[in-house]
Amino acid sequence: MKIKIDKNGYLWLERAGKMKAVKCPEDHYTEKEPYSSVSIHKHWSCGDWCSLFREEISTIYEVGMVTTKKAVQISLCKNYHTCFIEDFTDERGEE
């Protein structure tokens, strides 16, 4: 799995060979429901502005019985995604 945080802080995951934006799992918007300030995150994609979004670089993956590789774990409000460091792209701060 490949993970990318784009220059605007949006989270992208590789799905079926293509990078796709991750939508907020708490976004319960429907076309019939009007926008309200109560649900401020409506239509949001996952991103680094959310207080429940954490990224950590660690050595959590073991390959075989001996080799350890660095990995990135993105923790979200209801789940987490992990990939090897070489499959992680962070475009924030790039110009």
Residue with the larger pLDDT of the pair 88 and 50: 88
Q: Is 31 exposed, middle or buried (0-12, 13-18, 19+ CB in 10 A)?
A: exposed
The pLDDT value recorded for residue 4 is 92
* Cα atoms in the Cβ-side hemisphere of radius 13 Å centred on 63: 8
Extents of the domains making up the chain: 3-90
Residue with the larger pLDDT of the pair 5 and 68: 5
Mean pLDDT of all residues in the chain?
A: 76
